[in-house]
């Protein structure tokens, strides 16, 4: 079971591998570019080649790229929607250039247009991706959300519909399951019975064998709070016992886990990595 963290790309994406190695990561996640800007600068080929070389030498797998926060694949505004599709394809191109295994994306907000509209929007967006020929070497993963505001994607069955529709159009996608977001959206896994039930729901509602990665975060908000605020593992409302039951489930242990916990220094990542390894070592 690969375990890693989200690391900085400051100084170039290839430098992120060094940071992941220093933290003792088996897996890693990065942004392909500035996560809060529409300005796009193509990734130099030499930098992509260097990333691939360093990643291979380090033996890190998988590599996950997270999309820009401004991308909104369910936007009701046509200009923003098509701009988002264009930027999404560019970022998927970056992920494929560096040999990333996955590209994780949020599904955005349809504002007051509702989930049916959102489903049509994101399905159209992924059809455009399929037509472009991208998404063959890097698999797109759809991340569940906390349900805050008008954000779309908090329901596993909605994500399942999108995944099945994309497959019908020739694009294999999957799920990136965020523990904080799920808990905030009302999915509990505090006991063994609840953890087993949640795993069954992931398989039946989203799809069997489509769990590509897990974003591992405790939650500052309570169950069903819809509050998207990450906390250190075992120090939030989810708690260490719930993580023990969920993470040690035989189906969940197969998936790579990426920490997105609060970070002021490398010590924070090291502490959270150690806590996850301690929890995994306990079994169920």
pLDDT band of 1, cuts 50, 70, 90? confident
User: What is the CATH T-level fold of the domain 3-282, as seen in this structure?
Assistant: TIM Barrel (3.20.20)
Global pTM reads: 0.97
Q: Which helix (H) or strand (E) holds 163?
A: helix 156-168
Residue 189: its pLDDT value, please?
98
Give me the mean pLDDT over the 95-104 stretch: 98
Which candidate, 47, 200, 177, places its Cα nearest to that of 102? 177
Please report the pLDDT score of residue 32 as a whole number: 97
Residue 185: CA count within 13 A, CB half-sphere: 21
pLDDT, tens digit, for every residue of 31-53? 999 999 999 999 999 999 999 99
Domain map (residue ranges) of the chain: 3-282
Binning pLDDT at 50, 70 and 90, where does residue 180 land? very high
CA distance 259 to 255: 13
Answer whether the bond into residue 171 is a cis peptide, omega within 30°.
no
> How confident is the model over 237-265, as pLDDT tens digits?
999 999 999 999 999 999 999 999 999 99
Residues 6+ apart with CB under 8 A from 139: 101, 102, 103, 172, 173, 174, 212
């Amino acid at each position: 079971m690969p375990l890693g963290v989200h690391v900085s790309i400051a100084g170039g994406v290839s430098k992120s591998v060094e940071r992941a190695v220093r933290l003792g990561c088996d897996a890693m996640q990065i942004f392909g570019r500035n996560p809060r800007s529409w300005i796009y600068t193509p990734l130099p080929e030499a930098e992509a080649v260097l990333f691939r070389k360093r990643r291979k030498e380090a033996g890190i797998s998988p590599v996950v790229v997270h999309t820009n926060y401004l991308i909104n694949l369910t936007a009701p505004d046509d200009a923003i929607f098509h701009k988002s599709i264009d930027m999404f394809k560019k970022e998927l191109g970056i992920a494929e250039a560096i040999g990333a295994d996955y590209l994780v994306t949020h599904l955005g907000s349809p504002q007051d247009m509702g989930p049916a509209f959102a489903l049509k929007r994101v399905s159209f967006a992924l059809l455009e991706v399929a037509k472009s020929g991208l998404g063959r070497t890097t698999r797109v993963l759809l991340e569940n959300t906390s349900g805050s505001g008008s954000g779309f994607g908090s329901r596993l069955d909605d994500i399942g519909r999108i995944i099945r529709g994309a497959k019908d159009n020739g694009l294999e996608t999957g799920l990136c399951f965020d523990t904080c977001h799920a808990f905030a959206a009302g999915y509990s896994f505090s006991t063994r019975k609840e953890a087993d039930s949640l795993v069954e729901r992931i398989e039946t509602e989203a799809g069997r064998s489509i769990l590509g990665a897990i974003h591992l975060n405790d939650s500052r908000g309570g169950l069903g709070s819809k509050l998207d605020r990450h906390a250190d593992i075992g120090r939030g409302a989810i708690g260490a016992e719930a993580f023990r039951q969920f993470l040690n489930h035989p189906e969940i242990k197969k998936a790579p886990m990426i920490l997105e916990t609060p970070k002021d220094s490398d010590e924070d990542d090291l502490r959270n990595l150690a806590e996850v390894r301690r929890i995994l070592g306990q079994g169920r």
